[in-house]
């Protein structure tokens, strides 16, 4: 549910015409309790923010400019329900902040801090899985936004749509440092939808371009592959390519995803990760949704010749008390295999061994 303010304005043309403007205030709160079987060689219980979905409050607005064209903006803040502090490294509008133009037949052009193509087109498959690929290595869970970004999203053309984004470096001497470019395409017809996407980050969070496309959220401890396994060096580039989508059969939705992620580190070593994601969600009743998924991640370090692997399963029962309020129980189990030495379900500390399970009970409320 959103609150809406409508403002009348005057538009100069041949005569005075009234332009319609609206601003929506929206958001959600989500919190709960989580139990971890093994976190640092011991079980732990946590009070958690964002158990069902990351909390946020936002402002979304538009002004009708005529002929199917609108001026649009979004300002969206992320925060921790349990502590009241801002997320996204303390940014005021760290989730999104952009302004632009939208046309029914020409598409949408926006400028600001925005989502890249992998999140937009493939992220919904990860979200439907009720879990996150280890270390969110493919950004399916949207830990990384792109700053200084110019983004274009096409209108739907014969069931196809396209998107492209470029995030500027802001380094006057080298425009390649801390830049991002991203592109993707989606197809949707009836019960079937599919997408492909690619994102490349060059010198992300580089100290030579501190105001560039990828900010200090790249240094998050949750992103466990942002340091070389050889010398602990930072990332020179990260490239993400993937494809995935959904197929609906009655009250059941099936999802599938494949992503390939390549880290090139400053010490010239490389890591390639491949993620396979299969999920199913079934609407048992109007109020109760059931979900299950399986992840498989396999990696390859070239210099140290190691091949870590991880398996993870997720199960969720989500019950809606109303259209705006739901409670959910989620259980995730991860097993490290191959040369992987520990399990680590996203959002928690590493296990002391090769297995880790997490049980979460949480509540979400939209407004």
Let me know if residue 241 belongs to a domain: yes
| Band of pLDDT at residue 20, cut at 50, 70 and 90 | confident
Contact 343, 353 (CB under 8 A): yes
- Three-class SS of residue 180? strand
Rounded to an integer, the average pLDDT of 33-59 is 96
Rounded to an integer, the average pLDDT of 145-152 is 98
Residue 60 sits in a domain of what CATH number?
A: 2.40.160.10
Question: Which of the pair, 3 or 48, is modelled with greater confidence?
Answer: 48
Give residue-wise pLDDT tens across range 335-349. 999 999 999 999 999
Give residue-wise pLDDT tens across range 261-308. 999 999 999 999 999 999 999 999 999 999 999 999 999 999 999 999
The DSSP result for 83-140, as a single string, is T--BSTTT-TT-SEEEEEEEETTTEEEEEEEE--HHHHHHHHHHHHTTS--GGGTT-T
Identify the CA nearest to 201 among candidates 139, 270, 120, 274. Answer: 139
Question: Which of the pair, 180 or 9, is modelled with greater confidence?
Answer: 180
For tokens 């396979």, what's the residue?
276
Give the other-Cβ count within 10 Å of 104's Cβ: 11
- Three-class SS of residue 69? strand
Beta bridge partners of 39: none
Tokens of 174: 């080298």
Contact 272, 152 (CB under 8 A): no
Q: What's the confidence (pLDDT) of residue 41?
A: 81
Let me know if residue 13 belongs to a domain: no
Contact 182, 141 (CB under 8 A): no
Angle at 65 between CA 61 and CA 67, to 5 degrees: 125
| Band of pLDDT at residue 19, cut at 50, 70 and 90 | low
Q: 218 φ, ψ to 5°?
A: -70, -20
| Band of pLDDT at residue 39, cut at 50, 70 and 90 | very high
Rounded Cα gap, residues 34 and 47, in angstroms: 7
Rounded Cα gap, residues 260 and 243, in angstroms: 9
Give the other-Cβ count within 10 Å of 255's Cβ: 22
Rounded to an integer, the average pLDDT of 241-258 is 98
b/e for 197-223, b at 16 or more Cβ within 10 A? bbbbbbbbbbeebeebbbbebbeeeeb
Q: What is the pTM of this model?
A: 0.92
Is 4's pLDDT higher than 70? no
Handedness of CA 262, 263, 264, 268 (dihedral sign): negative
Let me know if residue 19 belongs to a domain: no
- How many residues would you count in the chain? 367
Domain span holding position 202: 24-366
Let me know if residue 9 belongs to a domain: no
Separation in Å, CA 147 to CA 110, 205, 215, 216, 229? 12, 11, 7, 11, 28
Contact 280, 253 (CB under 8 A): yes
Separation in Å, CA 9 to CA 21, 65, 186? 7, 11, 36
Handedness of CA 76, 81, 86, 92 (dihedral sign): positive
Helix residue spans in 244-365 (DSSP H): none
Is 7's pLDDT higher than 70? no
- Three-class SS of residue 170? coil
Q: Look at the chain and report how many structural domains it folds into.
A: 1
Give residue-wise pLDDT tens across range 197-221. 999 999 999 999 999 999 999 999 9
Identify the CA nearest to 287 among candidates 330, 316, 318. Answer: 318
Let me know if residue 6 belongs to a domain: no
Let me know if residue 178 belongs to a domain: yes
Separation in Å, CA 360 to CA 20, 32, 312, 323, 333? 44, 7, 15, 22, 12
Let me know if residue 18 belongs to a domain: no
Tokens of 308: 């870590």
C-alpha of 310 from chain center? 21
Let me know if residue 107 belongs to a domain: yes
């Amino acid at each position: 549910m959103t609150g809406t303010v409508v403002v009348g304005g005057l538009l100069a043309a041949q005569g005075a015409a009234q332009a319609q403007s609206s601003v929506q205030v929206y958001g959600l709160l989500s919190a709960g309790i989580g139990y971890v079987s093994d976190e640092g060689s011991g079980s732990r219980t946590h009070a958690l923010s964002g158990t069902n979905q990351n909390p946020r409050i936002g402002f979304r607005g538009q002004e009708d400019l005529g002929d199917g064209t609108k001026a649009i903006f979004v300002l969206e803040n992320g925060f921790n329900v349990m502590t009241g502090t801002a997320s996204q490294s303390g940014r005021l509008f760290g989730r999104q902040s952009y302004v632009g133009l939208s046309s029914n037949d020409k598409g949408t052009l926006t400028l600001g801090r925005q989502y890249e193509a992998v999140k937009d087109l493939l992220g919904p498959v990860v979200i439907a899985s009720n879990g996150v690929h280890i270390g969110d290595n493919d950004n399916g869970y949207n830990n990384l936004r792109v700053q200084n970004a110019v983004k274009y999203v096409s209108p739907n053309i014969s069931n196809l749509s396209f998107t492209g984004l470029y995030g500027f470096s802001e380094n006057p001497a080298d425009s390649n440092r801390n830049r991002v470019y991203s592109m993707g395409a989606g197809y949707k017809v009836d019960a079937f939808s599919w997408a492909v996407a690619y994102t490349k980050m060059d010198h992300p969070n580089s100290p030579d371009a501190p105001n560039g496309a990828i900010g200090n959220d790249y240094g998050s401890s949750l992103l466990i592959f942002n340091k070389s396994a050889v010398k602990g060096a930072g990332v020179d580039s990260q490239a993400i390519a993937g494809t995935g989508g959904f197929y609906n059969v009655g009250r059941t939705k099936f999802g599938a995803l494949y992503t390939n992620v390549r880290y090139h580190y400053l010490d010239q070593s490389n890591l390639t990760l491949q993620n396979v994601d299969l999920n199913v969600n079934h609407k048992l009743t109007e109020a109760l949704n059931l979900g299950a998924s399986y992840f498989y991640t396999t990696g390859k370090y070239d210099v140290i010749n190691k091949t870590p692997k991880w398996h993870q399963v997720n199960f969720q029962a989500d019950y809606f008390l109303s259209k705006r309020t739901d409670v959910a129980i989620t259980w995730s189990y991860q097993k490290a295999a191959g040369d992987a030495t520990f399990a680590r379900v996203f959002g928690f500390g590493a296990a002391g061994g090769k297995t880790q399970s997490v049980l979460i009970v949480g509540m979400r409320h939209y407004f």
